[in-house]
Amino acid sequence: MSGVEILIVLVAAVWAGLINTVVGSGTLVTFPALLLVGIPPLTANASNGLGLLGGGVSGMWGYRRELSTSAARVLRLLPWALLGGATGAVLLLALPPQVFEVAVPVLILLGLALVVLGPRIQEWVRRHHHEGNEGAGEPAWMRRLLPVGVGLVGVYGGYFGAAQGVILMGVLGVLVALPLQVLNGWKNLLATANNAASSLVFLVLRPGLVRWDVVGVLVIGSLVGGWLGARVGRRLPPTVLRAVIVLVGLVGIAVAVGR
């Protein structure tokens, strides 16, 4: 990559790490940025998931206090997030590359729609969400449905992952009776586990898909962004975050269609 391309990816990675920690949807910033600098879609997807692990780690650390209040419970969901991420990655590799290339604009558009609808989703969650202690007020069907929901979101995350955080927060907010800030910590942990599982599949089955120079820039940028997200990202106006996501996502659709 040239110096300008590195700068584009680095800025995108910082922003993605920040918004992933706060609301999710960082892939809608970094993936179009990678397409913009000429990275092929499959390579961009594999490298992006691995590179954004840096932001996931710093985001989890920033939310360690919230995670510690329900650690045993969220850890029981980890296998489902890991299995979902691995399954999505295998599907990505098993299907012809043309399928993913055709699906990219559609997936980005779906992710943008979820980001735009995010406030309404979150408002619906707030209206139907009853906070409590460690499973208080949750009927048995919710507890049984929760790992299934986490696993299905994980499959989507392993295949592409745009707006995975928004979807995951919707699932958690409806099915878990804990404060939403605690659930945001859960989201950071489960999404990071999902990315780790899908990245491992890529490294084992198709290591040639990974561009390590891209991964290095993404890791550095997302680490900084994840730290910023945990520290100050909650103070940023949600409209600013969403506007940037939508703008970059539309650029990504234009680039993907024009390839």
pLDDT digits (tens, 9 = 90+) for 9-53: 999 999 888 888 777 778 888 988 999 999 998 899 899 989 998
- Biggest CA pair distance of the chain: 55
Average pLDDT of the segment spanning 169-174: 78
The structure's pTM equals 0.79
pLDDT digits (tens, 9 = 90+) for 117-155: 766 766 665 666 555 555 455 667 777 889 999 999 899
E strands in the chain: none
Average pLDDT of the segment spanning 77-98: 92
Angle subtended at Cα 44 by Cα 43 and Cα 45, rounded to the nearest 5 degrees: 90
Share in percent of the chain as helix, strand, coil (round to 5): 85, 0, 15
